Amino acid sequence: MRRSRACGIGPRKEKAAGTLSAVERHLLTRYGSKEGALAYRHKYERSLSRRLSNRRELGVVDRALDEAGVRGRVLDCPCGAGRLTPTILAHADHVTAVDLSEAMVDEARSALAPLSAGGRLDFAVASVDDLSFEDAHFDAAVCHRLIHHIADPAQRARVFAELARVTKGSVVMSFSDATTFKHRLQSRRGRKRRRVALDPEQLREEAGSHGLVLRDRPRRLNGLFSLVAVVVFDVARKASDVA
């Protein structure tokens, strides 16, 4: 049965503090302030290595969007300070950029002001597991650099289910790949990180249980020396959609 939701895309009422998950509290602690959001906006400009890494990352996402055939109306969530949004706009007719942090959305709005003038871009404040859009509102979605923050499988499940609900085509998603050389090396050295690494098979099973069907093997950012990988999911069609 189709869930009744407001389809407006303006800023929505923020969650009460007591209802925030642990990961939401952690992310808002880091990026919820104006200073934290501004620092993140310029994070990938601070050194040559980060600029090169950013270029590779945007290239991998661009290829994934192309191979997924992304077109039409696309959700960018979480959008952060809008780093990926221009790459998504190169494929989409319209992008809705959404983030849990109002300060981050403000930075994205500022950074992307020249692109907003054409009417192909708008913004909203919301959590990816509780979006104020109708079912199948978007033709595709991009969820980048979020899943590796979420250690709780139940919360990952809510993210997968909500992305599948609001999207009718493909979902392009990044994650930290537990099968990479870098992750195995860090584990062998006993190095503990906040980042949650998943085996691709585990990701396939978890997402598949909530309507996201893995299309192909992960695309790694930088061969052996990167934890981050990008995958494309197709949203499983319901029987009612086929009828």
What domains appear along the chain, each with residue ranges and CATH number? Answer: 22-238 (3.40.50.150)
Q: What is the pTM of this model?
A: 0.84
Beta strands in 104-181 (DSSP E): 121-125, 138-143, 167-177
Element spanning 228, H or E: strand 228-235
Cα-to-chain-centroid distance, residue 27: 14
pLDDT by residue for the chain (243 residues), tens digit each? 334 333 233 334 444 444 456 666 667 777 778 888 888 888 888 888 888 888 989 999 999 999 999 999 999 999 999 999 999 999 999 999 999 999 999 999 999 999 998 899 999 999 999 999 999 999 999 999 999 999 999 999 999 999 999 999 999 999 998 886 665 666 666 655 667 899 999 999 999 999 999 998 888 776 556 788 999 999 997 544 544
What count of Cα atoms within 13 Å lies in the side-chain half-sphere of residue 77?
A: 31
| Identity of residue 63 | R
Extract the tokens encoding 50: 């980060």
